[in-house]
Copies of this chain bind each other. A is one copy, B any other.
């Protein structure tokens, strides 16, 4: 069968993607800075080879030929994913693929160094190059797919997602969030500070303990340290990272819980489809729904904090009797809401405003309405209008805070907030489906919950796109209602 020939070729491409994923983990977690130039070359060559493996007439012919073959639903979905990869590869010339790969590698490496120095000017020419190459890429993809330029980029991160899907969701959020945040702030109770220092080793031990309790398989994964936390690697070897702040263990702990949500998804992908496109994780909105399901919906709940509090006290020698280490105070800490400058430190209520800010700016960047040099000023202006915060004059905590644009991930940000909406909607369904869910969570029993995720989401691979999958599981299209109700329940009732 032609189908089998296709599977063999995509298995090979999967192996090259394995190499890329590991090199990217290595780059972020362990590579000495002097290795960066050679690494950027190697990654570009691998990207070029993947492109070569995909963009041959033979692949088109094979895909065509499978039309008459008796395939089951998974195989058919697999061919659809192959076709998507093929179309994307054919749309972009290989020279642009390798130029983009090299430019983004070098720009990201430089950003890592210059963010610490608050030096936007130093990285500007590299960022401009990345933005220009992204525009060219967007143009190629847009022409081939018959989409707008920004839509063509969105589509690479979340297949099928369009601005026309994003806009009404973001507009609904913009409508109710500002008032909702004001109400939360008005009734928020003060926290008792929990002072450090909390050593890296103790934080790492606590993180590993929680990962294991949630179901992370350490025989198929690791926890390490990187500048910008992420979940990488491959399903059989899923690598998550965090960074430690010795004066605040909650930052790293909830970072780890977040990445564990991503990792459980990767580790739970269908093993029979391991090396095929249909067996890989869905779009980034769905991926983010899995991390936020864990971090926001599960782990910031009273039930989870009741379970975790003794472990947290154990880890840091906290006093059982002290109000500081009480479930109540911990809960107030992990539910603190406030308008701040940093997206990754933001609470779930203000987070969407950070994303909307970036969404508006990156659309303008792609359209050519915003020049890279003007990003710092535009950033400050949006920070004022969306979050009511005046500039810090500090680009490190402004437009340089995120790796995304510097690494070429333009069109990615909206998936964070779509993920948050999906997480709320999925958690509502899980709560309806699983008996006594909060009680199990309070006992540290996550088997039923993770089992539900495995069955409904993880094991589905790319059989369905994110939209239809969410609708199938929750009975309705992705919307803002579950998220609104969640905020109301958690913070205002």
- Would A34 and B275 be within 8 Å (CB), given that A18-B39, A45-B12, A49-B49 are in contact? no
Q: How far is the CA of A236 from the CA of B234 in the complex (A)?
A: 26
Selected interface stretch from A215-223, A329-337, A374-382: A215-223
Q: Which of B42, B221, B235 contacts A19 (CB 8 A)?
A: B42
Q: Which of B22, B23, B221 contacts A32 (CB 8 A)?
A: B221
Contact in complex: A32, B222 (CB < 8 Å): yes
Q: Is A16 positioned at the interface, with any CB of B under 8 Å from its CB?
A: yes
Look across to chain B and name the residue whose beta carbon is closest to the beta carbon of A217.
Answer: B34
Chain B residues contacting A19 (CB-CB under 8 Å) are: 19, 23, 42, 46
Contact in complex: A45, B15 (CB < 8 Å): yes
Chain B residues contacting A233 (CB-CB under 8 Å) are: 35
- Would A236 and B38 be within 8 Å (CB), given that A220-B32, A221-B32 are in contact? yes
The interface centre, meaning the residue of A15, A33, A41, A46 with most chain B CB atoms within 10 A of its CB, is A15
Q: How far is the CA of A234 from the CA of B26 in the complex (A)?
A: 13
Contact in complex: A236, B22 (CB < 8 Å): no
Q: How far is the CA of A44 from the CA of B19 in the complex (A)?
A: 11
Q: Is A363 positioned at the interface, with any CB of B under 8 Å from its CB?
A: no
Contact in complex: B35, A237 (CB < 8 Å): yes
Contact in complex: B32, A218 (CB < 8 Å): yes
Closest chain-B Cβ to A30's Cβ sits at a distance in Å of 7
Q: How far is the CA of A233 from the CA of B234 in the complex (A)?
A: 21
Contact in complex: B15, A46 (CB < 8 Å): yes
Closest chain-B Cβ to A200's Cβ sits at a distance in Å of 13
Chain B residues contacting A38 (CB-CB under 8 Å) are: 18, 234-237, 274-275
Binary flags per residue of A197-232, CB closer than 8 Å to B gives 1, else 0: 000000000000000000001111110000000000
Q: Is A116 positioned at the interface, with any CB of B under 8 Å from its CB?
A: no
Q: Is A367 positioned at the interface, with any CB of B under 8 Å from its CB?
A: no
Q: Is A67 positioned at the interface, with any CB of B under 8 Å from its CB?
A: no
Closest chain-B Cβ to A109's Cβ sits at a distance in Å of 12
Q: How far is the CA of A38 from the CA of B12 in the complex (A)?
A: 11
Binary flags per residue of A4-42, CB closer than 8 Å to B gives 1, else 0: 000000011001101100110010001111110111011
Q: Which of A37-73 contact B (CB under 8 A)?
A: 37-39, 41-42, 44-46, 48-49
Q: How far is the CA of A220 from the CA of B234 in the complex (A)?
A: 26
Binary flags per residue of A265-277, CB closer than 8 Å to B gives 1, else 0: 0000000001100
Chain B residues contacting A221 (CB-CB under 8 Å) are: 32, 34
Look across to chain B and name the residue whose beta carbon is closest to the beta carbon of A38.
Answer: B236
Closest chain-B Cβ to A113's Cβ sits at a distance in Å of 12
Closest chain-B Cβ to A238's Cβ sits at a distance in Å of 9
Contact in complex: A30, B222 (CB < 8 Å): yes
Look across to chain B and name the residue whose beta carbon is closest to the beta carbon of A30.
Answer: B222
Chain B residues contacting A45 (CB-CB under 8 Å) are: 12, 15-16
Q: Which of B34, B222, B275 contacts A237 (CB 8 A)?
A: B34
Q: Which of B16, B22, B34 contacts A219 (CB 8 A)?
A: B34
Contact in complex: A32, B275 (CB < 8 Å): no
Closest chain-B Cβ to A215's Cβ sits at a distance in Å of 14
Look across to chain B and name the residue whose beta carbon is closest to the beta carbon of A26.
Answer: B22
Q: How far is the CA of A73 from the CA of B239 in the complex (A)?
A: 46
Offer 22 A-B interface pairs, CB within 8 angstroms, sorted by A. A12-B48, A15-B44, A15-B45, A16-B45, A16-B46, A16-B49, A18-B41, A18-B42, A19-B19, A19-B23, A19-B46, A22-B23, A22-B42, A30-B30, A32-B218, A34-B217, A34-B220, A38-B234, A38-B236, A38-B237, A38-B275, A49-B49
Residues on A lying within 8 angstroms of B by beta carbon are 11-12, 15-16, 18-19, 22-23, 26, 30-35, 37-39, 41-42, 44-46, 48-49, 217-222, 233-237, 274-275
